[in-house]
Every structure is written in structure tokens, then in C-alpha cells.
Structure 1
């Protein structure tokens, strides 16, 4: 299998490029009011790159969300859930070659019947399913392949804002038979068969699950229609109590939306996660590639769901941290569902120290869960924070938005227990960037200021 050094040799043709979010001075100004929960939905300013199909994207707990969600969880609860997801991912990529988390070499297998964590997902899109189309608001997840919605009848389902999908009311609905190739492709033991209909089950890392009939129907993405879209028609679920109607899998496996629509929109998609819950972003299928800085995408045939990249270095205030490249050798995952970016221990320690050294004007504050680099911003309407940039293979430099650096009053990064462990690039760090997953060209791209 390819070693990391061999992988790096493949990157020599990439030029040094920078995705600037804001200016490139060593400090950025952040209004402390923007760190508080938004009460009003602001006018969308999203500017997606050209693509085949674009739908709005919202934070599930924000005022722009179409879901009548419960009150936003506390930061403590968000971080607790987030740790469950991150720990699950790290376990799945651990120990294959003596180094935890090697994206390219991992022998760990994540079956299509397993998902990362349902209750950490924060962003939703609205689509239509069936003929006539029934509006469904779905969580998005790059760490899942199987998409599903709650269907009638349902023996054990949570309440939702939209009408529950009724297969009998759709003229284009079709369940897969147990003998179909599509059913076999799910690749799960004990798949089950009810009245000759293929049954699916997805067990998530946080203990939640969904099961029902694997089916196909017409999917409406804005003005675009996807015929014979494959999804789970859920008749029972557990461990999930939000108002969303289901999940849209954006992983790299055969069952994901991206794989299913590759023939129509191409093997590329992108999204932009807004800076705050009070603003909007977007999801685009068939995204264009111009205007992005790019880094090679690392994939594993044993674990096709996840999208890997190689983080090489971190810059604070324009200066690169003195961290050996070997610390990042296990690779990194881009993940829409993990909130906080996880770094190897040495890398996080260096980042925290450098950040605190440039924040001496603000008193330290008590840690918040896994966030231990926190500050007291009392009495300040705005704060000056040092820039943070992530440097990926191919020397693609991604300058983070201020909202991608600070969460509440803390540095929005956390450390893993050891070096040589997998990095997870979480959704806070992705805010305002259009993140491109170009599977066809084997690249991940970043475009600043897209939403």
C-alpha cells in the first residue's frame, strides 16, 4: 500500500494557493455579539459556484431552519455529543498499521449499516420525495451513505414538522425486492425480508438507529428531479428526538446521493456552512471547480464513505507552528457532522500555546468541556483574534473565517490523546467556505466567503 511519503511525491504538481477568508493580516476582528445565538434570520448572501442543482442549507436550530426544532442544546451538550461522534470515527480508523487513523492504509471496515452519529448533525436541506412531491427536511452527513425518511405507517417514530411520507400516495414509489442487486449491495448480514421487500437497518455510533424498507422514488432538488432515487423508508427508529424528517447521506459509498446522481450531475458536490445559525448556506450537486484552492482527496477502498485529505501544517498569526510533519502522517477526514476539529496532541498543544500568546489582552476563562483554551471577553463589543490557517498537501492554504476559529469564547479545536492519530476537520472550521468534494478528479477544494 502507498506510504505517506509516496503520497506526498504525487502532490508535487500542485501549486501553492491560498483561500483567504477576510484579509491576510495577522489579526482579525470578531464582534462578540455574533458569538451569541441568533434570534432573527438574516437575508441570505450565499453565492454558490456554478452547478447542476443547488438547494438552501440551514442550521437545524437556527431561526432560518424550516424545522420546528427544540431549543438549541447547550454548548456542553453539543460538545458531549460531538465527542461521541469523534471517538466513533477514531475507533473505526484505529490501529490498522500501528498508527491510529491512517486514511490511506486503514484496514478497518465501516459497513454501510453503520453511521457516525445522528444527534451531532447540525445542518438541514429541504427536498421533495414522491409524485406528487412531499416536502421533507433532512439532515446532511458526509459520514453516512444511506439516506432515509420516516414513512407511514410507523411503529416507532419521532415527531416531525413536515407530513410523514406515505408510499401509498406516491405514483412513482417502488420498494426493492429481497432478490434485487440493489438489496444485495447494501452488504449487511441479516438484511431481513418482509413480504418480499428488502429491509435496511442503519445503526449509528451514538446508539440511535433506523430500519424499514429500502425503496426508490422521485427526488426533487429545487427545480431538478432525480428519478429512481434510492432511500430507506423508515418504519421504526430510536435514539433520535429532533423534528427533522430523516437524513441525506453525502458519503462516498454506492448508496449516497452523490454516487446515485453522478450520471446526472457528475462526481462532484459542494456545500457552504453559514457563519452563524442566523444565516443560510447551500448544497450544490455538480459543483464547478473554478475559484477553489485544491488538495488531493485520499480515499480507501475498504472504507469508501469518508473523504480524506492530508493536513501538513498550521499557521497562527501568519507564522507556521513548529510541528513535525510526521505528527499529521495519519491523514485527516473532512466531516460535516463533527463540530470541533480534532488534532494530534502535539499539534493541538502548539496551536493552543501560540494562540494564547497572542491573546494576552484577554483574561483566561474556565474550560468548556473539551475546549480548554478559553477567554473572558466581558465588556468587549469586539475582540481581536490571531488568524489561523490550515495548510494541506499541495500547499493549499485555507485561511479560516473568525467564526471558524472561536466558538462561544473558546478556541474551536481539541486535541486527541496521542500523536500519529487521525485529524478530523470539523464543521466549525468549514464555516463560510464553499467546500468542494470533487470525487471524479480526486480533489477537495476550498473557496472563501461563499456564504
Structure 2
């Protein structure tokens, strides 16, 4: 009889070892990572674009286009005056606050879609009277071709937007841009929607602003804090992605008035990748056999990434966690964070702290955590950085270090543990944000309340992030770009 407990113990140990072997990891599991000082700087990077393996990436049944940082040497846009870190963080706060307010029901009813966008209903096309800045958080862009013959359009991508738009002739209030304004009259496949069309009706039914002008459907989109907008004619035309993928009858806004971007942004418009019916993802579901897409944000501005539509067929190698969706706010894609590890050790944070969930967002820079989780993360990270002198806070970044005289430093690993056992070990460039030539700060911040958190774009760097809407999962593949 004495052998029975021993047998049960051996069985239990075998079960636990098998269970651990099925816990999925993305990235390495070391306790420290090496980070090169200056690698993230928008001002000190070499003027040479380092094309990654993403540039030659291709797959059957999918469309892939290169993706670049707005201010890096890979960007097709001219290098103009870059925003200061203070400006970037201020705009980031506006965007994060808007997303959290919308998910908490604090935004007026009738708004859906948008850049973290609120799309307001109206019976006439009106021009926003107050300007805002929350669109300026967007940092990653792609180049597509619109119309017949196709004309290049350089557009920001945004998972917090549904309605895509470009600036069009005639443009009565527009920012300057790198490409010529899109001219609907020069495209043989351009078609504005009528006020009685199903597309115009759906625009209103989905909570998107629609109106009527000379029998043509007019859209109105208000973004961020409600003060930024674009308005024009809701239309369709041929969209070309990459070298061999054509999307016919692509629905988009032909903007005649825009007040969200600054002149030195130079972009032509915005490509919505949200979960609403108007987004590029939803419109191409039939073309690519499902609502799935992925992207890889490069580790530094001097390297390139990619955006892939129809990514479900190439989803091997990902660690996955269930996707959370809201019927009231279908634009956003949510996940459930369950734990955080620093230096390989799991922090003592009750799972209930993360009960509000997290939003995956390409346009928010910093990851926002519930206050107890951020406090635990900050304390553990500081404990692992005792060899380096602390630096004063920089805005909302309060866990900072002075690396004067260093070319590279050793920092504790940070891993995010999601529901379903997916462990995502962040890249070194996804842990800290460079604020000056020698000072770097932990690239996380605390929520002001118990609103849903946000997984920002810094933490997503180098991972191929898969949004498998039909399959109900978000996936991560390390070292993809």
C-alpha cells in the first residue's frame, strides 16, 4: 500500500510537467535583456532604412504591404519637425482617455468607429468648430493605390478606427500631404454613394455620421476627444494592396474638410482596421476568406514592418489568447491579461485586478495598466535596475534611469501572461522608451481608475500580432520583423 501514494505522486508530477510543456511562450525566457542606447531615437538614427524580412514576406491567399514608422528613414514621408516627447505623451493621454471613456459608456450615444474614433450622426455635413490633437498619436503607415489608374496614397493604420478616408479634390480645408490630392474625376472606377444607397443607410445604422448633399451620401467622423473631424463624400473605388491584390468597390470617405492632422504630418489619410462593418478588415472578409489580419511593428524607426490581410491561413507559430469583443463598441479588440513577470518571476497581483480587460491598440504608445499592477511592475523593475542611477520622471513616465556613458544596458525581462496560458516576453525595445540621449523610462503607465487597460504599440514591437476575428483569438509571434 505504501507504493500507491508514490505512484500517485509520480503521476501528478508527470501531469504537471506535461501541463507546463503546453504553456505557450512568445520570445525568450531569460531574466535579463540587452538594450542598445540610441536604438529608438527618432533624431539619432542613421538615415538608412534597414529593410527587414517583412519586405519579402508573402503567403498564399493573403495580401501583405510594408509598414513604416512615420519619422524613420523607411518612411515615404519627408522628415519634418518631429514632435517632442512631451507632445507625444500629451496626445497619448488624450487618446487613452478617450478609449477608456468610450468603453466605460462615457461617450455620447450614437458614436462608433473612429480613431479611437467617435462617429457622430448628423442630418447635414458640418465642419467641426474646435480642433483637437488626438489623431497625432498615430505613428505607423502604409502605402496603397486607390482608383483606376491607381494613385499612391500614404495612410496611417489604426485598429481604433473603422471608417477609412483620404483627402480629395476639391479640398476646402486640408493639411498638406506628400502625394497629390486624390482626384475622383480622374478615376474611371470612382463612385459616390447616393443618399438612398444601402451603404449610406448602414453608415447611419452603425452609429456613423451620415448626411446628404446634392443627392450624395456625406459622412462625418469625429475623433478622440470629439473635437477632431473629417467630412466629405462617402464613396467607393478600386483599392490595390501590394503588387497583386485588388479590392474592388472599397468603401471610404472622400474628405473635403479635415482638421485632425498637422501640416507636417504629410499623410494622405487613415486606414481603419477596427472591428466595425466599415473597416478594411470587414470589407475584405469575403476576399480573404475571413476577418483576420496581422501586423508587425518594427523594433526601431530605422527598420520596417508589415501589414497582412487574410492572415488566418498563416497563423502557425503564434501563441494565442481569446479575443474579447463588445457589442456596444465593436471597433475595439480586447484581451484578458492575467499576470506580469519581471526577471522571470511572477508578480503578486490578484487576477481580479485585471477584470476590466485590456484593449489592443496600434495608435496608443504606452501600455496602461490598473494602478495596483503598475505599482507592482514599477517596484519590481526598479529592484532589477539598482546598478543604474535613477532619473527624474518625464511626464507620466515615472520609472526612469540615467545611462550616461553607456552604449548598451542590461534590463530585466518583462512578460505579459494572458488568459489561456499565452506568455508574451517583450522585446528589449518594447520595455523601455528613450526620452533623451541618455535617459530611458519604463514604457508603461497607470490608469487613473479601474477602466479597461490598453496594450500600446511600444509593447507590440517585433511581434507579429494576429487578430483572428472569426476564430476569436489574438496571437503573438516573436521576432517577426
| TM superposition score normalised by structure 2 | 0.86
Q: What residue number does 1:218 align with?
A: 238
Cα deviations by residue, 1:360-407 (Å, 9 ceiling, x for unpaired): 011110111110000000011110000000000001000000000010
Q: What residue number does 2:199 align with?
A: 182
Alpha-carbon deviation of 1:164? Answer: 0.7
Alpha-carbon deviation of 1:46? Answer: 3.2
Cα deviations by residue, 1:80-101 (Å, 9 ceiling, x for unpaired): 10000000011111269xxxxx
Q: What residue number does 2:293 align with?
A: 269
Does 1:253 find its partner at 2:254? no
Q: What residue number does 2:171 align with?
A: 154
What SS is found at the alignment partner of 1:210?
Answer: strand
Cα deviations by residue, 1:28-86 (Å, 9 ceiling, x for unpaired): 11111313222323331234573510000000111110112522211111101000000
Cα deviations by residue, 1:98-156 (Å, 9 ceiling, x for unpaired): xxxxxxxx998742367444111000000000000000000000000000000001000
> For the Cα contact (< 8 Å) 1:404–1:428, is it kept in 2?
yes
> For the Cα contact (< 8 Å) 2:181–2:268, is it kept in 1?
yes
> For the Cα contact (< 8 Å) 2:50–2:74, is it kept in 1?
no
Structure 1 stretch displaced more, 270-279 or 46-55: 46-55
Counterpart-to-counterpart distance in 2, 1:79 and 1:275:
19
Counterpart-to-counterpart distance in 1, 2:238 and 2:460:
31
Q: Any residues of structure 2 matched to 1:188-199 within 5 Å, and which?
A: 188=207, 191-199=210-218
Counterpart-to-counterpart distance in 1, 2:148 and 2:154:
17
Counterpart-to-counterpart distance in 2, 1:118 and 1:402:
27
The structure 2 residue matched to 1:34, chosen from 29, 33, 39, is 39
> For the Cα contact (< 8 Å) 1:147–1:246, is it kept in 2?
yes
Counterpart-to-counterpart distance in 2, 1:35 and 1:154:
36
Q: What residue number does 1:235 align with?
A: 256
Structure 1 stretch displaced more, 32-41 or 273-282: 32-41
Alpha-carbon deviation of 1:177? Answer: 0.4
Structure in which a larger fraction of residues adopt helix: 2
What SS is found at the alignment partner of 2:53?
Answer: coil
Counterpart-to-counterpart distance in 2, 1:218 and 1:93:
34
Gaps of 5+ in 2: 1-18, 118-133, 435-439
> For the Cα contact (< 8 Å) 1:61–1:71, is it kept in 2?
no
Cα distance, 1:113–1:82 mapped onto 2, change above 3 Å: closer
Cα deviations by residue, 1:159-216 (Å, 9 ceiling, x for unpaired): 1010110000000000000011110111258622111000001101142210000000
Does 1:445 find its partner at 2:445? no
The structure 1 residue matched to 2:425, chosen from 389, 399, 402, is 399
The structure 1 residue matched to 2:94, chosen from 61, 66, 84, is 84
Structure 1 stretch displaced more, 26-35 or 167-176: 26-35
Q: How many residues were matched structurally? A: 427
Q: What residue number does 1:383 align with?
A: 409
> For the Cα contact (< 8 Å) 2:40–2:301, is it kept in 1?
no
> For the Cα contact (< 8 Å) 2:208–2:220, is it kept in 1?
no
Higher relative contact order (CA 8 A, sep 6+): 1
Alpha-carbon deviation of 1:443? Answer: 0.4
Cα distance, 1:136–1:190 mapped onto 2, change above 3 Å: closer
Structure 1 stretch displaced more, 66-75 or 233-242: 66-75
Cα distance, 1:437–1:109 mapped onto 2, change above 3 Å: farther
Cα deviations by residue, 1:220-243 (Å, 9 ceiling, x for unpaired): 001210000000000001131120
Does 1:426 find its partner at 2:456? yes
Counterpart-to-counterpart distance in 2, 1:431 and 1:182:
36
> For the Cα contact (< 8 Å) 1:107–1:302, is it kept in 2?
no
Cα distance, 1:376–1:235 mapped onto 2, change above 3 Å: same
Computed over aligned residues only, the root mean square deviation of the Cα atoms, in angstroms, reads: 1.9
- Work out which of the two has the higher radius of gyration on C-alpha atoms and give 1 or 2: 2
Cα distance, 1:114–1:445 mapped onto 2, change above 3 Å: closer
What SS is found at the alignment partner of 2:331?
Answer: coil
Does 1:304 find its partner at 2:358? no
Alpha-carbon deviation of 1:303? Answer: 1.0
